[in-house]
Amino acid sequence: MLKIVLISGKRKCGKDYLSERLQKRLDGRSRIVRISEPIKSEWARKHNLNLSELLTDGPYKEKFRRDMIEWSDEVRAKDYGYFCRLAMKDAIDHQAIPYVLVSDVRRKNDIKWFCETFSKDKVLTIRLTSRPETRSARGWTFSAGIDDVSSECDLDDFDGFDFIIPNDDELDEEAIDHLLDKLQLKYK
Ligand SMILES: Nc1ncnc2c1ncn2[C@@H]1O[C@H](COP(=O)(O)OP(=O)(O)OP(=O)(O)O)[C@@H](O)[C@H]1O
């Protein structure tokens, strides 16, 4: 049965890290979907930029982050599901893979779109939290226009998460299995 896990958390809380750990443990039963992918691919096409560099975690992505946020907000204002729909297109076409891990959920409207589109019983929400010191040690520094806008803060006051997971320490295999058990996702 299709299950969609929506993973959110502030920058450098470990959303990608956790998604990859879960995917590895689920061994072929899951795929990772990133809402930022269609944002980046449309942005790259529009501005004739290098998409593969934009998709990696580095200075190139950071250089365009603020402008991409502003532009994608304008698109979302007209259609809040626009990027979620594009990001999920391939995943829906490959339903043989039962679990989808959405690794960069940032807004209440993202959650709303998934619940409306797939029904609430298929959707699980995770909020990852890390202390500011932990995030700094992972390379985060506060940037005005990025850390104080809705793409980063909209979910701060959302109180409907199914699971809130602290991520300050190394997650060992037992911790990953424990989380998968809580999510009721099957692994071997
Ligand atoms: N529990 C953990 N143990 C060890 N390293 C971790 C852990 N969680 C995250 N990291 C590391 O911290 C860094 C930031 O994590 P990650 O890229 O997953 O954050 P993110 O929330 O996806 O960030 P962003 O929103 O900026 O894309 C990565 O180098 C990742 O490997």
Name the CATH topology of 3-183: Rossmann fold (3.40.50)
Token digits of residue 157: 């006051």
The pick from 138, 153, 168, 170 for probing ligand 1's pocket by mutation, whose C-beta has the most ligand atoms within 8 angstroms, reads 138
- Rounded to two decimals, the ipTM of the complex is 0.99
Does the annotation flag 11 for ligand binding? yes
> pLDDT grade, residue 66 (50/70/90)?
confident
Question: Can you read off the two tokens belonging to residue 129?
Answer: 């939290």
- 76 known member of a binding site: no
Does 78 show up as a binding residue in the annotation? no
Does residue 131's CB lie within 6 angstroms of at least one atom of ligand 1? no
pLDDT 10s digits, 2-60: 899 999 999 999 999 999 999 999 999 999 999 999 999 999 999 998 888 888 878 88
Least trusted range by pLDDT, from 84-93, 105-114, 130-139, 169-178: 84-93
Q: Which atom of ligand 1 is nearest to the CA of 128?
A: 21
pTM value is 0.94
In angstroms, what CA-CA distances link 26 with 4, 117, 185?
A: 13, 24, 8
Question: How many Å apart are CA 56 and CA 46, to the nearest integer?
Answer: 18
CA of 78 to the centre of ligand 1 (A): 32
What are the sequence ranges of the domains in the chain?
Answer: 3-183
Classify 27 in phi/psi space as left (phi over 0), alpha (psi -120 to 50) or beta.
left
The first and second tokens of residue 164, run together, are 């809130």
| C-alpha to C-alpha distance for 80 and 33, rounded to whole angstroms | 17
Could you say which DSSP state residue 22 is in? H
3-state secondary structure of 131: coil
Q: How many Å apart are CA 136 and CA 131, to the nearest integer? A: 9
User: Which residues make beta-bridge pairs with 32?
Assistant: 101
Separation CA 87–CA 134 (nearest Å): 29
11 lines ligand 1 (CB under 6 A): yes
Whether 15 has a binding-site annotation, put simply, is yes
Tokens of 121: 């019983």
